[in-house]
Amino acid sequence: MDKFLIRGGKPLHGTVVISGAKNSALPAMAAALLTQDRVTLHNIPRVRDIITMSKLIAHMGAHVTTADFPATDYVMEATTLNDAVAPYEFVKTMRASILTLGPLVARLGGSPYHCTSKVGRGDQHGSWIY
């Protein structure tokens, strides 16, 4: 078993910067669709799924702004949602796109969200959720 052995008996000083986690950031981004208020997220990791999720949320009508690209801070405002359809080009590369389904059902009362998953029971796939 690996371990750290620290000698010296002196107090430690300093700071450690903790990077953001994609698997925490993606649900938070999808949750921004639940409200019409401005949502600001900080310390977001710079990975492809985050960029794809921001494009998907913007496609649905939310305003997504960043100071730089790729960004670590995102500001999202979903005052109106004009397109609840998740285009295949977004969802085919990111399983986390399903996280937008709950907020869409809550805000719009349903979602024409087509399941493209290849996993699970066959009778669940190829159907539309309303």
Residues designated as active site: 115
Task: Write the secondary structure of the chain as one string of H (helix), E (strand) and C (coil).
Answer: CCCCCCCCCCCCCCCCCCCCCHHHHHHHHHHHHHCCCEEEECCCCCCHHHHHHHHHHHHCCCEEECCCCCCCCEEEECCCCCCCCCCHHHHCCCHHHHHHHHHHHHHHCCCCEECCCCCCCHHHCCCEEC
